[in-house]
Every structure is written in C-alpha cells, then in structure tokens.
Amino acid sequence: MNVLIIGAAGMLGRKLSHQLNAQKMCAGQAIGQLDLVDVVPPQPLDSATSDDATGSDAQARNVVSAIRDPLIITQAADLTAPHVAQQLIAARPDVIYHLAAIVSGEAEQDMDKGYRINLDGTRALLEAIRSEHEKDGYCPTFIFTSSIAVYGSPFPETISDEFHLTPLTSYGTQKAMCELLLADYHRRGILLGVGLRLPTICIRPGKPNAAASSFFSGILREPINGQPAILPVADTVRHWFASPKAAVGFLIHAATLTREQIGPRCNMNLPGLSATVAEQIESLRNVVGSEAVALIRRENDPVVATIVAGWAESFDAQRAMALGFAAESSFDDIIQVYLDDEMA
C-alpha cells in the first residue's frame, strides 16, 4: 500500500504525514511507501527515514516493530507544471491525499492563481488518474479536502446534508467545482473519491496565514504563547470548528471507506463544533486564564467581517457521522488539543 500526500508541507499535510508514518498503516494495510509532495520541499519526517530511497535505515530500525517503517520520499513539485501530475500518478499510489490549495484570501486577490492551482491543479491530477485507469483499470482512493466555504449565505441556522452550494468566494467556487469533478470521476469508476468539507481548523499551529479565517486560531494561539492578537470581527460571530487532530482523524478514516459506504454522493459535510467568538474566548479563559484573554485586542476589519458574514455557522452532518467521522464536542477540548500537541 503506497500513499501519496500532495500538499504535504502544509499544516494538515505535516500532521497527516507524521500520523501515517507513526501508525505505519492506512486503511488496514501496511504502508510500503509514503510520498510527500508540495510546491516547497516537505520537511523530512524523521532523520532516519526521510529521503531514504533504499529503505535500509527503515529496515534496520525494524527491531521494535512487526511492521516495517514506510519508505518516505519527499519531493518538491508544482502540480500545475506540465507532466507533474502524470509523474506523481505514474508511481501508482493506492491512496492519494490532495490537500494542496491556495487559501481563501489569496484566491480572492489573485483570481488567476486561485483557479490555476485550486481548479486546474486538481483537474490535472484527476486526468492523470484517468489516463492510468484507461490502461489497466488502476483505481486509487482519492481523498480531497474541500471546505465549508462551498456554502454561502443566506442559509438556515443549521445546514443539512442536502443544502445547495452557493459559494461567495472564488476559493469556495473552486472547491465546489472540484467536488463536482471528483464526483463525476468517482461515478465513472475511475477512482474512489471522498470529498471532505473540513470545518475551519482551530487552533492552527504556527503563524497566521492569508486565509480570511486565520484570526479564529490567532485569537487563541497568540495569547496562549503570550503574544497579542487582533480580533477583526464581532464577538457574536458564530462559526464551525474542528481541531487539527480531528481533521487528521477525518483524513485517515476517509481512506477506510468502501464504494458501497460512500455511494454516489462522495462529497460530505463533516462533524464539528458550532461556537461563537465569545464562546472561544470563554474557553480560552477556562483552559488558559484571564491573562491570555487580556491579550486580545478588538480592531474591526470590514473586509474580513464581510467575508466571514457569508460563512456557515452550523451543520447537521448526519451522513458523515453515520459513516464514523467524529470531532470535538466542546471548545475546551479544542484548546486542550493545541496544548497537548503544540505546547507539550
């Protein structure tokens, strides 16, 4: 079983890579090779195994475990450059995680780049799979990270699994278009597709990014680290969250699903937690303390506020829950994941 992760240098890609490398299994099978690809070189996972094309070190360390360590190959590659998608797929990965994307803020500012990376890049991958499929029936599992940005207001208080997609950003448009493509290739039997509409991931470790949602993590992460943070929207803004740990769990669980379980509708909303900014801040007070809360400064940003006002607040993700996907049920838990994973 070989696994390819595209977008492996991103936050979620790194965490997924580490988790798969640690558990050595994917969808119930031992991972032979783990290919980590991104436009920037993905960080080596482990000095003993990364960039180790022979696998000899992995074999040497095999004393402690009955399962051989995956062979890890890291590669810097631009999915939208000629032949890159074909090269990646020619290695015939069994499971493909496609996490690479230009984030919402950047896709809104640079329309060409957003469509090129988020739409054309995904399409190039799907077409490369089709080309191999037509040779001999090759049919990998393709797990695509979509986003709740495929939804646009006005919507009901709680969004059902059958509510229409009316994105209000180019990023959301690109994700929704890729969902449609994925479902068509899935329906044609070219691949087994799973499109996961991730909740906003919170608390993202590291630095703020260009996503309009970046502050949802920043107002917690920066104060936990003793730094000031800016809150650009009102306390009453409600949004839909899951931790990075829950998101990695979604990705790993998705690889276990069969065509019968998925059915024709391969894109789905995932479970998460609906919380207001005020509730986020209260959890910060509970779990970390008032001195952390005092580091949050309110500074309204009408651009961010307008984008966020078009976002979904809550979902009834019945289908995904029935398929075994699970997330946190309190914001205290979400903050605790950050403390355990990043501050330990």
Contact set with its own copies (CB under 8 A): 111, 130, 152, 162-168, 170, 173, 176-177, 180-181, 183-184, 187-188, 264-265
Nearest distance from C-beta of residue 302 to its own copies, angstroms: 17
Nearer to its own copies, 180 or 210 (CB): 180
Structure tokens at 296: 């949050």
* Distance of alpha carbon 38 from alpha carbon 116, whole angstroms: 15
The pair phi, psi for residue 4, each rounded to 5°, is -115, 130
Return the number of the residue (18 or 319) whose C-beta is nearest its own copies: 319
Considering the complex, what minimum distance in angstroms separates the CB of residue 59 from its own copies?
Answer: 43
CB of 170 to its own copies, least distance (A): 5
Active site residue 185: no
Q: Which is nearer to its own copies, 83 or 188 (CB)?
A: 188
Please spell the DSSP secondary structure of 48-105, one letter per residue: TTTT-SS-HHHHHGGGG-SSPPPEEEEEE--TTSTTHHHHHHHT--SEEEE-----HH
CA dihedral 312, 174, 255, 14 (to 10 degrees): -90
Minimum separation from the CB atom of position 50 to its own copies (A):
38
Q: Cβ 300 to its own copies, closest distance in Å? A: 23
Q: Which is nearer to its own copies, 75 or 131 (CB)?
A: 131
Return d(Cα 308, Cα 326) in angstroms, integer: 25
Say how many Å lie between the first and final Cα of the chain, rounded. Answer: 32
Antiparallel, parallel or unpaired: β 273-276 and 238-242? antiparallel
- Encoding tokens for residue 121? 């890049």
Kindly name the residue from 97, 151, 171, 338 that is annotated as catalytic: 171
> What is the Cα 129 distance to its own chain's centre?
21
Q: Which is nearer to its own copies, 168 or 270 (CB)?
A: 168
Catalytically active residues are 171
